[in-house]
A and B are shown apart, each in its own frame.
Chain A
């Protein structure tokens, strides 16, 4: 386990995932009573969770428990599906992203997302893919774009592999490289947080390791939330873990959340214990 008891200790406020009180300026993401619906069907019920800034939070749980849906409520991507809606509040640095005067486009610039399957834009080169977010956002200056592209590719640990073929199509890369390209594209717009929805599930073990190393690097600058079906991966990459499961009403709910080491060694809830021990799910 590379999960870091030391890192946890050096941060001043310890386990926030369970809602430690008494901080002044609210930083990071905080979910309060979040329910997510697809039409009349409630897919996620009443999730309250505090996400530690500049740390990796893993969302784990059996299929259909609403992990990905929870993730998609955090950058207002959930509502892009017809008939989908959200109740409750999600606060980013203290401001509810569902306030009527908040523009969902602004939310998505601050909370980026990496998807399960690498999805570079097929009509664009590697360079254009990385530049797409800032360019479609209005940045035109060639020099600045060059800088953003190089910086983002370096931070996504892809620069050395692609610097000589930046103008090749993004889809010419291998699956693992494409996923790092998507990460570069996401960090190019300088978000606060990055949501990753099973980012390695379509990748081979070597590419998976690259991405995990990258996550360890990125957590210095970004708040990261990652949905994963791979418990070993959750243990390796995350500081905190939130465990979800499905209720009798088929709605997913949060069972418990806490530092990853605690969640994997001495969880409070029996369901969590059974799941991390591999007894169900």
Chain B
């Protein structure tokens, strides 16, 4: 290739050829386009936060946080906040335990064929629109016992369950097989190996999956529309009665013919956004720590 007799050092310092300059330009172009696309993804998030805060802040008062929608004067969203704080944790308990156990079974015990079949079902379930989860519960639980907070929790759990399974399986797949082998070679039984070795290593990741499902549960509206249905009265502990939740409150208030109530819907959106963002930040912090370990 080297046709010239110049030294390698001299060739290093030669002016760039046309082809080299073109390559440099293409490199820079692609970088700029990619950066632009990245910034584009931030735009909606920034816009959401700006809009929601701008429109909701005026009505985000103390009485908004401590009074229910049904209060005769200065109504607030306490019923919705307290409703979310009841229904979502209950749904988390239902879907978390079942999802973790199912994920552990699929990742650690099931044969590859069973695991493959169930993974497919879980994927399908993940793609099912959440309103259909609501319809399922509506046509069963609600048809028999009427609207209730419990039915809302069940509908949320149906949405959260596949998320927990999926992340559990993914996280357990990341645990190196050499650790399972080390344990088995010590004469430790399979289930003992799973409990004492595999789950210990995967603990942080498993919790992350559960927390992501938790955040998802707070934001879901559709599963609650015809299950928990919403209630203007503060409902603490009466799981067989209708109950409000933050996303339901946003939906219902935004349809009322009054600027004040619509503004309150935005205020509730701030609260909802804060909860979901807080959970996400906690999860992120945890997974960063897990990587450092």
Contact = CB atoms under 8 A, between A and B. Distances in A.
Q: Do A and B bind each other?
A: yes
Interface of A: 75, 77, 80, 82, 105-110, 112-113, 115, 117, 119-124, 132-133, 136-137, 182, 185-186, 189
A262 B136 CA distance: 76
Contacts, number: 74
23 contacts: A77-B184, A77-B185, A105-B187, A105-B188, A108-B186, A109-B187, A112-B185, A112-B186, A115-B181, A115-B182, A119-B178, A121-B179, A121-B200, A122-B179, A123-B197, A132-B183, A132-B186, A132-B196, A133-B186, A137-B186, A137-B187, A182-B182, A189-B186
B187 A106 contact: yes
Given A121-B197, A122-B201, A123-B201, A80 B187 contact: no
B9 interface: no
Nearest to B178: A119
A117 B182 CA distance: 10
Given A82-B111, A122-B201, A123-B201, A136 B181 contact: no
Contacts of B192: 136
Contacts of B188: 105, 132-133, 136-137
A75 B181 CA distance: 12
Interface of B: 111-112, 176, 178-179, 181-189, 192-193, 196-197, 200-201, 203, 293
Given A82-B112, A107-B187, 10 more contacts: A77-B185, A105-B187, A108-B187, A115-B178, A119-B178, A121-B183, A121-B201, A122-B179, A132-B188, A137-B188
A80 B189 CA distance: 12
Given A119-B178, A132-B196, A136-B196, A75 B201 contact: no
Given A82-B111, A136-B192, A119 B186 contact: no
A132 B196 CA distance: 9
Nearest to B113: A82
Given A82-B111, A82-B112, A136-B196, A75 B183 contact: no
Contacts of A75: 185
A1 to B, nearest CB: 30
Nearest to B112: A82
Given A82-B111, A121-B197, A123-B197, A133 B178 contact: no
B181 A80 contact: yes
A108 B189 contact: no
Contact of B182 (A106, A121, A189): A121
